[in-house]
């Protein structure tokens, strides 16, 4: 159905878009054109490069204000943020946590780091995020309520939490997920690692559930090198998350007393210095990414009617972290991948679905038709901020 000429057209479109006639075009490269060096120099001059210092607090306050969350706790990366959010939410050993198979491995890893077991349910074909109807079907068929807890009838384990993920920056139908979880007494922790700057019905992703997590890895929309954030409106939750991620040290001027086995998951001040400078450019990054997305959309709609360009839902606002298209079939998708990589264009397929990775093979799955279909046909397009 597609031939070399079609793929060549895609390649030359991407090269034009990024004003880069040759060389490698990465999937998502970080952009530093603000106060990064200035804040780093300030940070180093104070000698407070580790845990103490003002940049961590300033960065937390900026993210809280932007997302509308009351509290934000900076941590060492997004994976650690999710692990801690689950623990603070009351997830215990051998509990189950419902999530989606179409996600980065960090989501499922963090659930296991919290000693719980992921259960994988399907995504919606249009948002690529957790499907509320799949969740409803799963809960109706598999769950009984015992002592106000949701219990999985087939494993006998307690289901404590649900972790929807806003895939590639596209908000999922989070309000419907929240409503269902309320009915079944399940805690919602949103994996918003990819969706800083994405809103659903005017509210920032990651602020619908009890807590949400963000990532500032190098490939995300803004970066601290490595870093993450736990956001929540719940004061006690935020305090517990801060305590647990800072070695559970009891505040005291000189005594070293710890009241729990804590974690050293603090974000160093030097990373927060970069983060604050990056944050100042967030709105500009979002505006540029929206234009890139619009350009891709028009191109694919005009040139390739067989290709589906994934759009934001009418009532949502995506950060367009990674632009995404679906080919009509796996064969043409794979041919395009091969051709583009040979030409230095770093498009990529979706992650291998979680239940197919050997660590998660024994985990329960429930009708993953859409996840499988999308994964076979999907590619992410280069989506960096154009400089
Ligand atoms: C990036 C990402 C994370 C967190 O990754 P870190 O590299 O640990 O910051 C978690 N979940 C998803 C879906 C991600 O894309």
What are the tokens at 52? 């103490």
What are the tokens at 184? 């079944």
Q: Which atom of ligand 1 is nearest to the CA of 167?
A: 13
The whole-number average pLDDT for the span 333-359 is 98
Cα of 79 vs centre of ligand 1, distance in Å, is 6
Residue 102 phi, psi dihedral angles, 5° rounding: -85, 90
Cα of 251 vs centre of ligand 1, distance in Å, is 31
Is the CB of residue 101 below 6 angstroms from any atom belonging to ligand 1? no
Residue 93 has pLDDT above 90, yes or no: yes
Rounded Cα–Cα distance for residues 316 and 200 (Å): 4
The whole-number average pLDDT for the span 256-284 is 97
- Domain map (residue ranges) of the chain: 4-31+282-380, 36-279
Cα of 106 vs centre of ligand 1, distance in Å, is 5
Cα of 219 vs centre of ligand 1, distance in Å, is 10
What are the tokens at 201? 């019905």
Q: What is the pLDDT of residue 314?
A: 95
pLDDT tier at 51, thresholds 50, 70, 90? confident
Rounded Cα–Cα distance for residues 97 and 111 (Å): 7
Is the CB of residue 104 below 6 angstroms from any atom belonging to ligand 1? yes
Rounded Cα–Cα distance for residues 352 and 330 (Å): 14
The whole-number average pLDDT for the span 266-283 is 98
Provide the 10 A C-beta neighbour count for residue 165.
Answer: 26
pLDDT tens across 188-206, in order?
Answer: 999 999 999 999 999 999 9
The whole-number average pLDDT for the span 292-311 is 97
pLDDT tens across 136-154, in order?
Answer: 999 999 999 999 999 999 9
Residue 52 has pLDDT above 90, yes or no: no
Rounded Cα–Cα distance for residues 321 and 92 (Å): 33
Residue 101 phi, psi dihedral angles, 5° rounding: -80, -25
The whole-number average pLDDT for the span 103-125 is 98
The residue among 346, 344, 371, 343 whose CA lies nearest residue 356 is 371
Is the CB of residue 215 below 6 angstroms from any atom belonging to ligand 1? yes
Rounded Cα–Cα distance for residues 33 and 30 (Å): 10
Residue from 28, 77, 78 whose mutation best tests the ligand 1 pocket (most atoms within 8 A of CB) = 78
Task: Look at domain 4-31+282-380 and name its CATH class.
Answer: alpha beta
Q: What is the DSSP letter of 264?
A: B
Assess contact for 258 and 66: CB atoms under 8 A: no
Residue from 107, 189, 230 whose mutation best tests the ligand 1 pocket (most atoms within 8 A of CB) = 107
The residue among 104, 249, 131 whose CA lies nearest residue 191 is 104
Q: What is the pLDDT of residue 283?
A: 98
Q: Where are the alpha helices (DSSP H) in 31-131?
A: 36-46, 54-67, 78-88, 105-113
Is the CB of residue 53 below 6 angstroms from any atom belonging to ligand 1? no
Question: To which residue do tokens 């028009």 refer?
Answer: 298
pLDDT > 90: percent of the chain: 99
Residue 52 phi, psi dihedral angles, 5° rounding: -95, 150
Q: What is the mean pLDDT of the chain?
A: 97
The whole-number average pLDDT for the span 110-134 is 98
Q: Which long-range contacts (CB under 8 A, 24 or more apart) does 307-314 make?
A: 310/126, 310/128, 310/168, 310/170, 311/126, 312/170, 312/171, 313/126, 313/127, 313/170, 313/171, 313/173
Is the CB of residue 100 below 6 angstroms from any atom belonging to ligand 1? no
pLDDT tier at 161, thresholds 50, 70, 90? very high
Q: What is the pLDDT of residue 306?
A: 96
Question: pTM score, two decimals?
Answer: 0.98
Half-sphere exposure of 27 (CA within 13 A, CB side): 18
Is the CB of residue 214 below 6 angstroms from any atom belonging to ligand 1? no
Question: To which residue do tokens 């710890």 refer?
Answer: 258
Residue 112 phi, psi dihedral angles, 5° rounding: -70, -35
What is the residue with the minimal CA distance to atom 5 of ligand 1?
78
| Domain 36-279 annotated CATH 3.40.640.10 | yes
Domains 4-31+282-380 and 36-279 share a fold: no
Residue 1 has pLDDT above 90, yes or no: no
């Amino acid at each position: 159905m597609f031939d070399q000429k079609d793929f060549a057209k895609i390649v030359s479109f991407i090269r034009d878009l990024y004003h880069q006639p040759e060389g490698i075009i990465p999937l998502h490269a970080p952009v530093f054109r603000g106060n990064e060096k200035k804040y780093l120099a300030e940070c180093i001059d104070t000698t407070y490069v580790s845990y103490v210092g003002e940049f961590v607090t300033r960065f937390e306050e900026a993210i809280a204000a932007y997302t509308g969350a009351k509290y934000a706790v900076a941590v060492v990366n997004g994976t650690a943020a999710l692990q801690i959010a689950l623990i603070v939410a009351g997830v215990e050993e051998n509990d189950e946590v419902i999530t989606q198979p179409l996600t980065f491995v960090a989501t499922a890893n963090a659930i296991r780091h919290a000693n719980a077991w992921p259960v994988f349910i399907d995504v919606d074909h249009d948002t690529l995020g957790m499907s509320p109807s799949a969740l409803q079907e799963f809960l109706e068929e598999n769950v009984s309520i015992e002592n106000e807890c949701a219990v999985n009838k087939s494993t006998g384990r307690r289901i404590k939490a649900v972790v929807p993920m806003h895939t590639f920056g596209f908000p999922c139908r989070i309000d419907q997920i929240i409503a269902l979880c309320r009915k079944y007494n399940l805690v919602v922790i949103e994996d918003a690692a990819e969706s800083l700057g994405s809103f659903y019905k005017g509210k920032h992703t990651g602020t619908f559930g009890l807590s949400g997590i963000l990532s500032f890895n190098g490939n995300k929309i803004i970066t601290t090198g490595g870093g993450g954030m736990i956001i929540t409106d719940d004061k006690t939750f935020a305090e517990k998350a801060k305590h647990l991620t800072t070695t559970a040290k009891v505040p005291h001027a000189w005594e070293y007393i710890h009241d729990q086995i804590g974690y050293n998951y603090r974000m160093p001040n030097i990373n927060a210095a970069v983060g604050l400078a990056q944050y100042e450019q967030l709105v500009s990054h979002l505006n540029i990414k929206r234009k890139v997305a619009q350009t891709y959309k028009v191109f694919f709609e005009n040139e390739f009617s067989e290709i589906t360009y994934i759009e934001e839902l009418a009532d949502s606002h995506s950060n367009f972290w990674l632009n995404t298209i679906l080919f009509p079939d796996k064969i043409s998708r794979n041919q395009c991948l091969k051709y583009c990589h040979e030409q230095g264009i770093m498009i990529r397929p979706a992650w291998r679905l979680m239940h197919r990775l050997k660590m998660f093979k024994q985990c329960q799955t429930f009708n993953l038709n859409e996840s499988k279909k999308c994964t076979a046909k999907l590619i992410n397009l280069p989506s960096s901020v154009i400089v």
